[in-house]
Structure 1
Amino acid sequence: MSATDVTRFAPEWLALREAADAAARAAELLDPLRHGLRVPADASRLPDEDATLVIRDLGCGTGSMGRWLAPRLPGPQHWILHDHDPALLELAATRLPRTADDGSPVTVSTDRGDVARLTAEGLAGTSLVTASALLDLLTREELDGLVAACAGAGCPALLALSVVGRVDLAPAHPMDAEIADAFNAHQRRVDQGRRLLGPDAVAAASVAFARRGMTVQVQASPWRLGPGTAPLTAEWLRGWVGAAVEHRPDLASRADAYLRRRLEQCEAGELRVTLHHSDVLALPRPAGGAS
């Protein structure tokens, strides 16, 4: 069983969060990423002969990472979208931008399957592996496999929007910390035999990439939710509190009252939430070992 087998996200939720994701992504990592990209030696195998940068988007969902990143990278690109859901793959493929930062063409193909089974051989000819909101859904073994594949192929990785276990709400409420702790425990749960990394994923990935000789940069990428994001904030609140209660059913009666109060504040434009994430960029070290 894998992360892609057991985790499914509705297109409506992915659409609701896309603007917040785009605003949160760590643009500071773009310059080092551009300098670390390489054109694969076997780019001629691609459907479009002009495609040079080969980018694999793992767990692509509706393609929000591609919509954000492709127009920010120069040069011809070929995106290979990976997901378990054929409907999401079809949607993502049709909505990917068709031009890069400098007007070069962007082409796309899809690959349905388990992203946790990628190998260095399978990544041969890949310029970049990227993913959004995926790391925290992996087990340590799946993460180690992904890191080994990227390092073995000499392939950079940009892994965005992983939760780190911190949420700040204003105004504060006495139950905030208790709900947050229960939610974090839920994120680290055993799911059908798989122990998820949850908020430990960013630290685990940073260590794993460094052990494989890659240079790692981590940047904060928080959601900042307020009066202008009320529909997203309300949906996030329901999911956040619901996961906490799933892990700790004894919270149910108090959590119901807490959620009602928070939703009232959200509707009134009184609630602000900072949901902390981090983006991880891992780059192969240049020949000779310089970092």
Structure 2
Amino acid sequence: MRADERRTVHTQFAPEWLALRERADATARSEGLLDTLRDHLDGPLVVRDLGCGTGSMGRWLAPRLPNPQHWILTDRDLGLLRRAASSLPVPAVTVQRDITELTAADLAGTSLVTGSALLDLLTADEVEHLAEACVRAGLPALLTLSVSGRVELDPADPLDGEVAAAFDAHQRRTVEGRALLGPDAVAATAAAFERRGATVHRRPSPWQLGPADAALTGQWLTGWVGAAAEQEPDLDLAGYLDRRRAACAAGELRAVVHHEDLLALPDISAAR
């Protein structure tokens, strides 16, 4: 959920955008964390996917886990839940609810909690609640593709830094009383799990976009610049966006949009 998705977890996301970004997401996610995760999984699995969207996390992760699996897809958007359930390569059920309200009791019987492009949409209290629920239930959590606040564009433009700073501020804004974590989300989540005795592993998972990704890059640019302009309306970014779009259309623009993946492994002996 990036620039043009920068709303709260209580709103809907366009399936077209989720489909457009799925290949870049799949390429970016850290395969290395899966080696560590597999060592902590045994037997048939029940996987709870938080904020599942159209199910891209399940389509990526399920074939990479050797265990028999059953997925519980959890989201507020009923339309997305239906799309996700029909496209997973393993059996799945859907649960329509607010993921920020899940407790350890709700997670009983689960083997793994996962989510993608989620953490930066949460507040500090919400990641504390998530960590508490997972650790109390003794569950590993694999949470991927959280923005880290870094973007690299080639060729460079004098306004790149101002746009990036304004966008990051937009991600940290307060919406309906919720102060979003934005680029601070992974650090806050790691700290929340570690305070509860979990071992946390973090790995970079950048989008690396080139000429073959022009459609995605163009949509991402529109959202990225639009959020920056919303945050800093005094910035004149119309010409900047035109230049960037033209370079993208000409196959001359490359972008690295940095994200981070997190794997938290609770101390089972300390789970309550």
CA contact (8 A) 1:83 1:112 kept: yes
Q: Secondary structure at the match of 1:56?
A: strand
Unmatched tracts of structure 1, length 5 or more: 40-51, 98-105
Alpha-carbon distance between aligned partners in 2 of 1:4 and 1:189, rounded to the nearest angstrom: 14
* Corresponding residue of 2:33: 29
Provide Cα deviations, 1:89-119, integer angstroms capped at 9, x if missing partner.
000000001xxxxxxxx31000000000010
Bigger relative contact order, structure 1 or 2 (CA pairs below 8 A, ≥6 apart): 2
* Corresponding residue of 1:4: 9
* Corresponding residue of 2:223: 239
CA contact (8 A) 1:54 1:79 kept: yes
Q: In structure 2, which of residues 106, 123, 140 is the aligned counterpart of residue 139 of structure 1?
A: 123
Flag the 1:271–1:120 CA change in 2: closer, same or farther, 3 A. same
Q: Secondary structure at the match of 2:199?
A: strand
Alpha-carbon distance between aligned partners in 2 of 1:265 and 1:128, rounded to the nearest angstrom: 42
Alpha-carbon distance between aligned partners in 2 of 1:57 and 1:30, rounded to the nearest angstrom: 16
Alpha-carbon distance between aligned partners in 2 of 1:288 and 1:277, rounded to the nearest angstrom: 30
CA contact (8 A) 1:3 1:116 kept: no
Matches within 5 A, 1:59-98: 59-97=51-89
Structure 1 residue 38, shift from structure 2 partner: 4.3
Q: CA RMSD in A?
A: 1.4
Alpha-carbon distance between aligned partners in 2 of 1:159 and 1:183, rounded to the nearest angstrom: 22
Unmatched tracts of structure 2, length 5 or more: 1-6
Alpha-carbon distance between aligned partners in 1 of 2:93 and 2:220, rounded to the nearest angstrom: 31
- Runs of 4+ in structure 1 over 6 Å off: none
Q: Secondary structure at the match of 2:39?
A: helix
Structure 1 residue 8, shift from structure 2 partner: 2.1
1:153 corresponds to 2:125: no
* Corresponding residue of 1:281: 263
Structure 1 residue 286, shift from structure 2 partner: 5.1
Alpha-carbon distance between aligned partners in 1 of 2:109 and 2:76, rounded to the nearest angstrom: 22
More displaced, 7-16 or 61-70?
7-16
Provide Cα deviations, 1:105-162, integer angstroms capped at 9, x if missing partner.
x310000000000101111111100000000000111111000000000000000000
Alpha-carbon distance between aligned partners in 2 of 1:36 and 1:241, rounded to the nearest angstrom: 41
Provide Cα deviations, 1:240-269, integer angstroms capped at 9, x if missing partner.
000000111111xx3110000000000001
Q: Secondary structure at the match of 1:33?
A: helix
Q: Secondary structure at the match of 1:57?
A: strand
The count of corresponding residues between Structure 1 and Structure 2 is: 265
Alpha-carbon distance between aligned partners in 2 of 1:38 and 1:54, rounded to the nearest angstrom: 11
* Corresponding residue of 1:48: none
CA contact (8 A) 1:120 1:152 kept: yes
Matches within 5 A, 1:1-291: 3-5=8-10, 7-39=11-43, 52-97=44-89, 106-251=90-235, 254-285=236-267, 287=269
Instruction: Give the AA of the match of 1:277.
Output: H
Alpha-carbon distance between aligned partners in 2 of 1:60 and 1:230, rounded to the nearest angstrom: 25
Identity %: 62
Alpha-carbon distance between aligned partners in 2 of 1:3 and 1:37, rounded to the nearest angstrom: 32
Q: Secondary structure at the match of 1:26?
A: coil
Alpha-carbon distance between aligned partners in 2 of 1:272 and 1:80, rounded to the nearest angstrom: 37
Alpha-carbon distance between aligned partners in 1 of 2:234 and 2:269, rounded to the nearest angstrom: 56
Q: TM-score, normalised by structure 1?
A: 0.89
